[in-house]
Structure 1
Amino acid sequence: MSAIPSKAELRSAALAKREKLSEKQRNAAANALAKRGLPFAITEGLIISGYSPIRNEIDPLPLMEKLAKQGARLALPTVTARGKSLIFRSYNVGDRLTLGMLGIPEPSPAAAEMLPDIMLVPLAAFDAAGHRIGYGAGHYDYTFAHLRRHKPIIGVGLAFAAQEIASVPALSHDVPLDYVLTEKRVFDFRSG
């Protein structure tokens, strides 16, 4: 009988699968997400935070462009410190970004702070119950916990289908997502 894999082991295995995807497969997946859009209505002025893709994450920018054309206002996260909530700053497609403290492109500190209604979230792995494995710093778990004290926020994970795993060993502080979108399907965890 084998031991249950740790989050670190599951993360490594899922990231290895993601690394094997070709540039063509990555682009096709990002475009498939954009073509499908979000699985719920977008109202004028809705604030949607995306992310700047790193480490071969699925690129949310084609989807974000579509959402902006539908009337959404966009934001990108800014990392402040481990164990602290992310800050979201206004972003328009094509804005010049600066490298943040973790080397991730972020809006200028002069960009207006915004409180998102919907957060598009990168991930290393996810399961069919809506749990995700990130990179281990807990930025999104802290952020969801903090911001949901102020208003309801829909969490939408974006991933390649290859990143789905059988089960995430979720802990009490892990915040499940409302949806995960892959190039192949929409996982809706709110109806279950």
Structure 2
Amino acid sequence: MSDPDDAPRGYASPPCLAHEQDPGFFDPLATDSRQARDVARWRRAERERLLARRRALSAAQRARIARAASEHLSRLLSDRFGTLKGRAIAAYWPIKGELDLRASMARWHEAGAFVALPVVERKAAPLAFRRWTPATRMVRGVWNIPSPPPDAAPLVPEIALAPLVGWALDADGAAWRLGYGGGYLDRTLAALAPRPFAIGVGLAAARLSTILAQPHDVPLDAIVTEEGIAGEGP
């Protein structure tokens, strides 16, 4: 039986797939090009290892993990923001075995939040965000990723969720994300003002001792996994 998470769906997903377009991707903004290439090579290997581990989970295992993570996420949002009514929250829809938060997205919408999904409007540029509702009809965007249509309302998120391939906490408790390698989230967080409260969502088993943070990397405010909340900012 095929994995239902791999079946085609009409939903948006995190547009951070530049590594699949260019396997030799590295960030030229790093201070040393050789170091940047070494880090990029190490990250590719870790990314492949972690993605393979995630793919090995059954659909039932992923569903249990996602439910547990969703409960921790709800607690974090409630403690930090109280009500979500009237707040803009950027989410994602799952691909490649990412934790499925669609039920939470629907609840946030019903509770009066403005739910957004990320969209690549220009390559190698910060993401845009368009409003999503359960009735939104998706269109194919960059790299054939389904997204809210161009006439969907643009939003600036107060809260931004990002799926994790891997994650790490440094000695000061700062939370770092290993993503798919395109750099879109870092560009977006660096460009948005005010910056949204950024939360990484992923597996507890995807924790690394470090991501070898580079000058372009932007830390998150918190990490949520099925085991709880880590690195919560002030």
Secondary structure, aligned partner of 1:102: helix
Q: Does residue 78 of the first structure (1) align with residue 114 of the second (2)?
A: no
Q: Does residue 143 of the first structure (1) align with residue 188 of the second (2)?
A: yes
Runs of 4+ in 1 over 4 A off after TM superposition: none
Alignment correspondent of 1:109: 150
Alignment correspondent of 2:54: 18
Ranges in structure 1 where 5+ consecutive residues have no aligned partner:
none
Query: How many residues matched?
Result: 187
Q: Tell me how far apart the structure 2 counterparts of residues 35 and 159 of structure 1 sit (CA, whole Å).
A: 13
Query: Structure 1 residues 182 and 49, CA, compared in 2 at 3 Å: closer, same or farther?
Result: same
Q: Does residue 162 of the first structure (1) align with residue 198 of the second (2)?
A: no
Q: Tell me how far apart the structure 2 counterparts of residues 188 and 136 of structure 1 sit (CA, whole Å).
A: 22
Is the contact between residue 34 and residue 66 of structure 1 (CA under 8 Å) also seen in structure 2?
no
Is the contact between residue 54 and residue 104 of structure 1 (CA under 8 Å) also seen in structure 2?
no
TM-score after normalising by structure 1: 0.89
Q: Which moved more, 1:35-44 or 1:86-95?
A: 35-44
Q: Give the superposition deviation at 1:94.
A: 4.0
Q: Tell me how far apart the structure 2 counterparts of residues 85 and 9 of structure 1 sit (CA, whole Å).
A: 26
Q: Give the superposition deviation at 1:144.
A: 0.4
Q: Tell me how far apart the structure 2 counterparts of residues 157 and 141 of structure 1 sit (CA, whole Å).
A: 12
Ranges in structure 2 where 5+ consecutive residues have no aligned partner:
1-37
Secondary structure, aligned partner of 1:113: coil
Q: Does residue 92 of the first structure (1) align with residue 133 of the second (2)?
A: yes
Alignment-mate amino acid for residue 12 of structure 1: E
Query: Structure 1 residues 188 and 71, CA, compared in 2 at 3 Å: closer, same or farther?
Result: farther
Q: Cα deviation per residue 1:10-69 (whole Å; 9 max; x = unaligned)?
A: 211111111111100111122223333141223421100111221111112122223233
Is the contact between residue 6 and residue 169 of structure 1 (CA under 8 Å) also seen in structure 2?
no
Secondary structure, aligned partner of 1:8: helix
Alignment-mate amino acid for residue 163 of structure 1: A
Alignment-mate amino acid for residue 161 of structure 2: L
Structure label with greater radius of gyration: 2
Q: Does residue 132 of the first structure (1) align with residue 177 of the second (2)?
A: yes
Structure with greater helix percent: 2
Query: Structure 1 residues 102 and 156, CA, compared in 2 at 3 Å: closer, same or farther?
Result: same
